[in-house]
Structure 1
Amino acid sequence: MSILEMKVPSPGESITEVEIATWLVKDGDYVEKDQAIAEVDSDKATLELPAEASGIITLKAEEGDAVAVGQVVCLIDTSAAKPSGSAPAAEAPKAEVKEEAPKAAPAPAAATYATGSASPAAKKILDEKNIDAATIQGTGKDGRVTKEDAINAVPSMGTPTGGPRGTERKKMSMLRRKVAERLVEAKNTTAMLTTFNEVNLTAVNKLRNEYKDAFKAKHGVGLGYMSFFTKAVTRALQLYPDVNSMIDGQEQIKFDFADISVAVSGPKGLMVPVVRNAELLSFRGVEADIKRLATRARDGQITVDEMTGGTFTITNGGVFGSMLSTPIINPPQSGILGMHNIIERPVAVNGQVVIAPMMYIALSYDHRIIDGRESVGFLVAVKEALENPAELLLNNDPKRAFEL
C-alpha cells in the first residue's frame, strides 16, 4: 500500500490557515489526479484543492474545520485500483405488513345554533372592540360567547398568527468573517467621511449608443459604464494624488500608478479583484479585465494575488437598485467611489428644464490624510470627465480611443 499525505498548500503570503468550506468527494471515493476534491476558504478568497494523485481518498478534516497551512487534510491510497463499476445496491427485504382493524375516530363535538353566537351583552362589547363573535371560542352552554368571553377578547390588530417561525443557524465562512472584521476595522480605525455629487450621463449614453455595437463586434466585450468611470477615476487620481495613497504607521505612502479594486458579488460574498495599472489601459483593456476578473470571482477561481494590492476602490451598488449610499473604505486604502442607479430626472441645463439620466456618486475617504479640498475636488473631477468624456477621456477622437 502506498499512501500520499495531502497537506494544505499556502494560498498566499501572510495566510497561515484556511477553512474547509466543502468537501467535493466522500470518504472512500476514488479520485483522479488534479480532480477538485474540496473548496477551502481563506480570509481573502475561496479556492479549490486539487488531488495530487489518483487513488482512494480518506478524509482527515471535517467541513468547517480551520486547518493550518501544511496540515494533512486527507490521505490518498495511490496503490488502489480504479473500480470498474459498482454493483447496484441490493433491495432491502420488504417487511411483512399486517392489516389492522381500523380504529374508530372520536366523534366530533356536536355543534348547535348557539355555537359561536354571542349574548346581547357580549355582542355589544365585541362590536365596540370590532371583533367578530365567530372568531371567539365561547365558554357558555353549547359554545355560546358570554359577556366574560367578550371582556377577555383581545383584538388581533391584524397581527398574523399561525405562520412558520423557524430559525436557521450556520457558521459564517472564513471569507465572510474576514470581510466583517475589515468593515468594522475600517469604521473604527479611520476618520471616514463621505462627500456626494451627481452626474449627468447624457454624454456617456450618447457615446455608448453610437459605438457599443462596433465595440462589441471588434473586441468581444461590451462598452459599459465601468470603463468610463474607471478612466474618470484614474484621471482624477492623477489630479489629486492624496486620494491615491494610504497610511503606514506614521507615514503616508503615495502611488504613481492606479491599481483599481472593483467590488463584485461572488458566490461566497463580496470580493474586490484588482485591475492593475488601470491608468495605462484602454477602454477595451478595462472592460476585458473587469469581465475576466468578475467571471473568475463568480466561478470561484479568483486567486489571492488577484485581490491584493489595490490603491483605490470602485463599487457599483446601482446594479442592485441602490439610489444612494455611503460606501465603506477598503483598508488600507484611503478612498472608495460609490456608483448608484441611473434615474431619469428633471434637471436644469443652460437655463432649461430637461429630463436627463442622473446618477448620485459618493466618495468615502480617510480624513486623516485627505482634506475636504482634495475629496471634493476629486469628485468634481470625476463628474467633469463623465459629463464631458469626449474631450477629457477620449481626446476628442472616440474611434481611436475605442480602437475601432
Structure 2
Amino acid sequence: MSCFWRVFMSKNKASAIMFNGAKKPLTKKEFLIPKKLGSNEALVKISLTTICGSDVHTWLGHRPFPTPAILGHEIVGKIVKLGKNLKFDFNGKKLHVGDRITWSMTASCQKCFFCKKNLPQKCVALFKYGHVKSLGKFTLTGGFADFIIIRNGSFIFKIPKKISDEEAAPLMCAGATVTSGLTEASFSKCNFVIVQGCGALGLYACAFTKQLGAKKIIAIDMEENRLSLAKQFGADYTINSKLEDNIVEKINKITKGVGADYVIEVTGTPKVIDQGIKFLRLGGKYILLGAIYPGSKFTLDSSDIITKCIQLIGMHNYRPEALDLALKLVLKTKNRYPYKKLVGAQCELSLDGVEKSIKLFESKKTTRPSIKPA
C-alpha cells in the first residue's frame, strides 16, 4: 500500500478555508472525504496552490460570486485515489496513485454545441475549479484546502520530474491563459511584441513569445520591481507607464515607426486598450486576456482598427492543449527563465494564512503568494 493511500485511509476529513462573500470573514470547515468516487474522478492531496488575481478580485467583491466557496484554481497535488475508469492523462500516460499532477481549470461535458465547436471552456455545463458553491455533492472544489476531487470532464497532466511545484502551479491558470491567447492569435516569429502588464501573465508572455520567435519584446508596467523581473523573463525594453509622458512616441522610436506585430494585454484594466491598439503595426494583432471583469468598458476610434487592418483577439479560460503547451515551454526554458520567482511568500493553510496571502498579492509586493497545506 502506497504512503499516499495510507494518508487517505488514516484521514476521513478534509479541511478547507471558505469564502463567504466580500467583506465577510473567512471560515474553516471540514468535509467528509468520500469513500467512493465517480468512475472518472480522482481524489488528490493538494501540495501547493498559488493565488491568482481573480481570487483577489473575488475577495474584494469586484464580481458576483457564489458562496460559500473554496477559492483557488492554480493547483498541484498528488493522486490519492482514482475512479475505476480513469486510467490515463491528457497525453496518454498511465496514471498511478502518488503521481504529481495538475489539470485543466475547467471540466466540460464534451457533448454540447460549444464543446463540439472546440470551445470546451465555454461548455453549457461548465465546472470551474475554485469558482463554484461548495455544497452538497460539490464540496472539495477549490485549492484552499488539503484535498480536492477532480471531476469528470477534466484533463489531467502528469508533471515532469524536472518541473517543481512552484513552477507548475501557476500554469493551471496564468501560464495556460497566455498560451491559449497565443494559439488563438496564430502566434509566429516576429520582430516586436509588446506586453502590457508584468504580473505573472505578463512575465509568461515575455518568456513564451521569446521562445516562440519574437526578436524583441517591450514590457510596460507601473512598478519598477515588475519591470526588473520582465528583463529576467526575456524583455529587451521596459517602459514605466507611470513615468513616461508619451509611450506611443517611445514605441514608435523603438520600432522605427513600424509598430508591434503583437500587443498582449494582461493588465486587468480596460484603460490601456485604446493605447495598446495604437502600438500595433499595420496588420498587427491585439490579444486581450486581462480586462475581463464587469464594467471593463473602453472607447476607441474604429478607424484605428479598420484602416490598419488590425485583429482583436479575446480569450477566456482555455482549451486543455494550452496547459499542455505551457508545461512544455516551461520544461524547455526552465534553465533560461527564473519561473520559481513567480511564486513568492508561502503561507500555511489557515484562516490567517489565506488572508495574508491574498493581501500580499493585493499589495503587489510579491507576484504569486502560495498556500501550502500541512
Compute the TM-score of the two structures, normalised by the length of structure 2.
Answer: 0.22
Specify the structure having the higher radius of gyration (Cα): 1
Compute the TM-score of the two structures, normalised by the length of structure 1.
Answer: 0.20
